[in-house]
Amino acid sequence: MINFQEFTLENGLRVIVHEDPTVQIAVMNILYDVGSRDEHPDKTGFAHLFEHLMFGGSVNIPSYDEPLQRVGGENNAFTNTDITNYYLTLPAANLETGFWLESDRMLSLSFDPKVLEVQRKVVIEEFKQRYLNQPYGDVWLRLRPLAYQQHSYQWATIGKEISHIENATMEDVKNFFFSHYVPNNAILVVAGHVTLQQVKELSEKWFGPIPAGKLKTRNLLPEPPQNAKRTLEVEAKVPANAFYKAWHMPGRFHKDYYAIDLLSDILSRGQSSRLYQQLVKEKEIFTSISSFVMGTVDPGLLVISGRLKEGISLEHAEQEVDTILQQVVSNGVAEAELEKVKNQAESTLEFGEMEVMNRAMNLAFSKLSGDANLVNEEGNQINAVTVADVKRVANDILKEANANVMYYKATA
């Protein structure tokens, strides 16, 4: 159970406080409700570019890292399809330094052309190294647009193509910043050796004067139901043939999310799971295989991916996967199977809550649903899933007409 209290500043900044006097640190997690899904199709990769730009200096602070390190703090950030998240840890006695730093870069970046050029090069290099020049690195650059025809999940967080970052102008950067990096589009969680009164005072002092922004209405194109199987074949110099199959599923805050997540665990979590036991260990068709859910806010994907043993055809591998899935669709799963993955999921939850930073992040993301207390309901929702629920969602989702398949063929 994560105890917390919350309040909202006049400018719309939502603040959550989690007091834990047993630790000597304080953490700040600030979640901006903007991800790659909020980008224009011709200007992708901006959310990720901003993650980098936010460390390049703000109005009054030329270097973000230096003053934080001076007081014993450290920080990092990440971007995905739905959010951009910044977090820092520092000694509790130096908490105000964190407020000073985070509020100043929310107030405004420096918009230094030199910083833009430096970070542009960093992001372009990351695009090349991680996505274009690495084996299987372009999988999601290809699989996303196969699965999504309308919704902006059709491009990866890094962007559609390098040219979008190469051509980003300072005007583009400013427009993106002032549309999304505003207090009424953010959730601040302060946790650790702090008090509610202390956080209220610091929030009013440092964030209170920042004016609310004009938020754009989020008008994302919904992905229409898929009515026919889609396939794609790719050839590249990779170590082995690889198989990917993805089905559309509801989003992270949907009532069926946990049943689908547990279904994916039954299929591939651990060496006793169905896919691993039958297709890696017994039949030796795959050298590795996994299934997972994307966990996106809007409707996402349930994905099965694996690398094939030499000499096995991709067509045969898909047939073997489909046979196992059809068994689940037709016969459901055993109570013991479900209980096992429930216990594993609960252990993962409890282990994650040991770290103050994880608690802060989970509170912020839960608040995105409209209810921060979702963080305390996950265990109950996992436990509430029945074998009938798993069979029902398997029937709903694992249809060939809902499938997107990519054969990634290894060439000499």
Q: Among 3.30.830.10, 1.20.1050.10, 3.40.50.620, 3.40.50.1000, name the CATH number for the domain at 5-208.
A: 3.30.830.10
Rounded Cα distance, 261 and 198, in Å: 39
Contact by Cβ (8 Å): 327, 344: no
Stretches in the chain below the pLDDT threshold 50: none
289 token code pair: 């295989």
Predicted local confidence at residue 268, as pLDDT: 96
151 token code pair: 């919704």
405 token code pair: 């398949």
Rounded Cα distance, 4 and 18, in Å: 5
Predicted local confidence at residue 399, as pLDDT: 97
For residue 86, which amino acid is it?
Y
Concatenated DSSP letters for 65-122? HHHHHHTT-EEEEEE-SS-EEEEEEEEGGGHHHHHHHHHHHHH-B---HHHHHHHHHH
Rounded Cα distance, 192 and 200, in Å: 15
Predicted local confidence at residue 216, as pLDDT: 83
Rounded Cα distance, 101 and 14, in Å: 18
Contact by Cβ (8 Å): 202, 99: yes
3-state SS assignment for residue 266: helix
Rounded Cα distance, 327 and 347, in Å: 28
Predicted local confidence at residue 110, as pLDDT: 87
For residue 156, which amino acid is it?
A
pLDDT digits (tens, 9 = 90+) for 332-383: 999 999 999 999 999 999 988 899 999 999 999 999 999 999 999 999 999 9
Domains 5-208 and 230-410 share a fold: yes
Query: How is the chain split into domains, by residue range?
Result: 5-208, 230-410
Rounded Cα distance, 296 and 372, in Å: 17
Predicted local confidence at residue 347, as pLDDT: 94
- The CA-CA-CA angle for residues 169, 83, 182, to 5°, reads 65
Predicted local confidence at residue 173, as pLDDT: 87
Does domain 230-410 fall under CATH 2.60.120.260? My reply is no
Predicted local confidence at residue 306, as pLDDT: 98
Contact by Cβ (8 Å): 247, 304: no
Predicted local confidence at residue 372, as pLDDT: 97
CA atoms within 13 A on the CB side of 186: 34
